[in-house]
Amino acid sequence: MTLVGPNGAGKTTLMRILAALSRPTAGRVVLGGCDLALDPTSVRRMIGLVSHRTLLYDDLSGEQNLLFYARMYDVTQPRARIEELLRQMGLWERRRDPVSTYSRGMQQRLAIARAVLHSPSVLLLDEPDAGLDRHATEMLGTLLRQTDLSRRTVLMTTHNLEHAAAWGERIGILVNGQIVFQATRPAIDLTALRAQYDRYASSA
């Protein structure tokens, strides 16, 4: 599912609450039968988050970063899993270099590898397309389709209506913390989405 919305609509807030980084002021979050407030650890195991920041350590190499996070997530056979991911992301040759020497697109791919490291059942993508060049964006799209194949729930927010329409099975518009519009893909195309978006965003 992809969510679009104007600045301040609550996209990042929603993501932070779902990722158990922020406390909701009211209401409950239940994921896979676990209440976030009661059992945050189980929920954290189920979630992978890609945010607009990379959440990586600049001074460590790509491999060191993933190894560290693999330990934190108790990944079984971390080396094999990391090799698989690094190859998939096209980072295997650069695995020994510090992340600070990576390009923006490479960092973002490593950030995605970090997020799916522990095979989360829910993948949260908070504006993953922000600041990416064309090539990196295409790669992201391909990756997303791959992760969809492994039957994950993917929730993505974006500013970019094209990406939202192209990548989402279901598409929603978030305004002022409310989902004001929802549709599934065959029923909506980019032009229709754009019309809906303009209507809701301008009324806000």
Residues in contact with other proteins by CB under 8 A are: 8, 16, 19-23, 41-42, 44-45, 47, 49, 51, 53-60, 64, 68-69, 71-74, 98, 114, 176
CB 142 to other proteins: min, Å: 24
**Closest CB to other proteins among residues 24, 141:** 24
**Closest CB to other proteins among residues 69, 161:** 69
For Cα atoms 178, 182, 187, give the angle at the middle one, nearest 5 degrees.
170
**Closest CB to other proteins among residues 4, 49:** 49
Q: Residue 70: what residue type? A: A
**Closest CB to other proteins among residues 1, 60:** 60
How far is the C-alpha of 70 from the C-alpha of 81, rounded, in Å? 9
Tokens 């970063």 found at = 65
Tokens 């549709």 found at = 183
The candidate with the shortest Cα–Cα distance to 113, out of 156, 62, 76, 151, is 62
Q: Residue 106: what residue type? A: M
CB 203 to other proteins: min, Å: 13
How far is the C-alpha of 97 from the C-alpha of 29, rounded, in Å? 39
CB 117 to other proteins: min, Å: 10
CB 163 to other proteins: min, Å: 22
